[in-house]
Structure 1
Amino acid sequence: MKKILLLSTFFFVAIFFAQEKTKAEKLLVEIQQVKQVNKNIKMVWWMPTEYWRAATINTKQITEQQLQTLENMLDDYTIIAAGDYNLGSEINGVDFNSLPISNKFELYDLKGKKIPVLKNAEIDEKVSLLIDRFLKPLFGKMLGKMGTGIEFFIFSNKDSAGNKIIDPTKEGGFKVVLSGQSFTYKLPLVSLMPEKTCPIDQQKFPGNYIYCPIHGNKF
């Protein structure tokens, strides 16, 4: 258990403080959604296993073996962090007043079937440890009051046949409903797709492009 916690510490410190984050930042645009209506703001952050590799691809603090250990530990789960806040005023800025969301968070697959959140007893102890003893405090330290108001929801990502329910590399999608507001994710994640190169000038474009937007030729 101590080995997992120590490994997780080095792993996530490398993620948040690595200088090269280009690919991870592109991925964050797709997996993190924020919606604001007047003085209410909601955030949903899906954490697919693929994110951790993207975030550490340019750091030398994590070995391939350590990365694979964490990937294997998390791959059976869908992990989503979320927060619902009313914005207030403070002398030095904005105050985030967290709203309870434990019973106001729902996850639906592409066909609209509700995926049940796992009970604590159904979650691997190492995964629970990772979230409760590291991720939650880290979010609070980095994001202040907003971070302490974030809650984590864990779901099984395997169906009865052992296949992934949500696969960020394959066509599909899913929906999160947080306090009545919908957050839709379309898959595959473009940032995980190989870039396409225009044969005319060798310029690179996102992997979901079918035609070169400059020359009109089909990739």
Structure 2
Amino acid sequence: MKKKIALFCSLYFIIISISGQNKKFEEVSIDDFLTETQYGSDNADTIDIIWWIPTEYWNVVFSQDPTTSISDTEDIVNLVKDYVFVMALKGKIGTFGGITYDDENIVREQLNVNYMNTDLKRVDNDNLNPDIVNFLSMMKPMMKNMMGPMGENMQFIVFESPDRKNNVIPIDPYSSETIKFELGDFKKDVMLPLACLLEEKVCPETDEEHNGKWTFCPYHGVKLVDKKQ
């Protein structure tokens, strides 16, 4: 999973579709998935990074890994599906480019996730399933090896529904809902669905493929159609 942190940019003038054909997990681009679920601020004085890790991410990754069995994939998905996992990094950039990272307590306190107009509840590590704790413990050194000090200071925060009566998760990345992330002053609204999980649509004028979230072709103004299966 040696991937770059990237920002997701959308074209505001394209009308978004709330329906579309879903891609098979093995056909989803992992790079596109990361681009759509990793967000960073453009503040020159601070570094603020949020990586939302949907349950479907593990389906995609493991479906493309021949060394992972279907049963192993199901075990991991069943383990994480009732939670929302977010990795976050926060720090200050010095005069000569050095970064002073905020510790886990500060990141945890300043990270908020809102879905379906509901603030999700942060889960203390002591209250997590021991298997989840072990799973996160395995990822921490991996991030350090991949990204050095930046990866070492990425904090894993787990969220759950605030109460059983208002069970809004798991988050549905195929829905038309909006997720709102906050990390201190950095805010990011993510409009679902995730385009990477949808089949591209086709312009009937040119047969050119476009973003599966779009309803109309940005060049010809005609309604896009589903790809032929």
TM-score tier by shorter-chain length is 0.7 to 0.9
Residue number in structure 2 paired with 1:62:
68
> Is the Cα–Cα contact under 8 Å of residues 115 and 168 in structure 2 kept in the other structure?
no
Residue number in structure 1 paired with 2:190:
185
Q: Is 1:95–2:101 an aligned residue pair?
A: no
Aligned residue runs from structure 1 range 151-170, under 5 A: 151-156=155-160, 160=164, 164=169, 166-170=171-175
How far, CA to CA, are the matches of 1:200 and 1:66 in structure 2? 44
Residue number in structure 2 paired with 1:8:
none
Identity over the aligned pairs, expressed in percent? 23
Aligned residue runs from structure 1 range 1-219, under 5 A: 15-16=1-2, 23-88=29-94, 94-100=97-103, 101-111=107-117, 113-132=118-137, 134-156=138-160, 160=164, 164=169, 166-219=171-224
Give 3-state SS (helix, strand or coil) of 1:51's partner: helix
> How far apart are 1:137 and its partner, in Å?
0.8
Q: 1:171 to 1:159 in 2, by over 3 A?
A: farther
Give 3-state SS (helix, strand or coil) of 1:183's partner: strand
AA matched with 1:139: M
> How far apart are 1:25 and its partner, in Å?
0.9
How far, CA to CA, are the matches of 1:39 and 1:108 in structure 2? 26
> Is the Cα–Cα contact under 8 Å of residues 196 and 204 in structure 1 kept in the other structure?
yes
> How far apart are 1:30 and its partner, in Å?
1.2
How far, CA to CA, are the matches of 2:161 and 2:77 in structure 1? 13
How far, CA to CA, are the matches of 2:71 and 2:54 in structure 1? 19
> How far apart are 1:24 and its partner, in Å?
1.0
> Is the Cα–Cα contact under 8 Å of residues 21 and 55 in structure 1 kept in the other structure?
no
Which stretch of the first structure deviates more once superposed, 199-208 or 70-79?
A: 199-208
Q: 1:85 to 1:36 in 2, by over 3 A?
A: farther
How far, CA to CA, are the matches of 1:177 and 1:203 in structure 2? 37
1:73-106 residue CA offsets vs partner (Å, 9 max, x unmatched): 111110000011222477xxx5332113232222
How far, CA to CA, are the matches of 2:216 and 2:111 in structure 1? 39
> How far apart are 1:122 and its partner, in Å?
3.0
Quick one: higher RCO (CA 8 Å, sep 6+), 1 or 2? 2
> How far apart are 1:142 and its partner, in Å?
0.7
Give 3-state SS (helix, strand or coil) of 2:41's partner: strand
> How far apart are 1:123 and its partner, in Å?
1.7
How far, CA to CA, are the matches of 2:211 and 2:93 in structure 1? 36
AA matched with 2:102: L
Q: How many correspondences in the alignment?
A: 198
> How far apart are 1:157 and its partner, in Å?
5.2
Q: 1:21 to 1:217 in 2, by over 3 A?
A: closer
Give 3-state SS (helix, strand or coil) of 1:30's partner: helix
How far, CA to CA, are the matches of 1:181 and 1:16 in structure 2? 25
